[in-house]
Amino acid sequence: MVQEDAAFCNSCGKDLRKSNNFVSKNVESNNSFEISAMTWLKFTYIAHIIGIIFPLGHLVGIILTMLKKSESKGDTFITDHYSYTFNTAVKGAIGFGICMVIWVVGSIVLIGPLIGGALMFCIWVWTIVKYVKGWMKFDNSQPINT
């Protein structure tokens, strides 16, 4: 006999029905694949983390945020995390742009690349810390403090 209502993790005993990733077996299957809001948020964080090395990842993350944030208006946990990733990406891009101006304008006096490069490195580290902090809070189902 198969227990269709059983939704407990075998290894930790956690009730999976409280998770947004739980899909009931009682729902009729029409061979469609639906991705949960939590999974989309994971994709967004992953895109932004990839964007630390490959800037196109930030663009993908921002697009995912814009598309999926409006779908999660009722869930403040997910909406806050989307706002957090978006704000981090925008603030990082603005900081990077300012550093580029310092780099270019300052290269006239030959100190710009040193100052601009050091500031870019600081913004890069800040971005990494923000995304890792956000991912850890998301993974532990904690709200983000924006």
- DSSP conformation letters of 6-61: --B-TTT--BGGGSTT---TTSPP-S-----HHHHHHHHHHHHHHHTTSTHHHHHH
pLDDT digits (tens, 9 = 90+) for 39-70: 899 999 999 999 989 989 989 999 999 888 88
Residue type, 29: S
Q: What is the pLDDT of residue 28?
A: 47
Residue 9 in this model has a pLDDT that exceeds 90: no
What mean pLDDT value characterizes the chain? 80
Q: What is the pLDDT of residue 22?
A: 44
Instruction: Give pTM, 2 decimals.
Output: 0.70
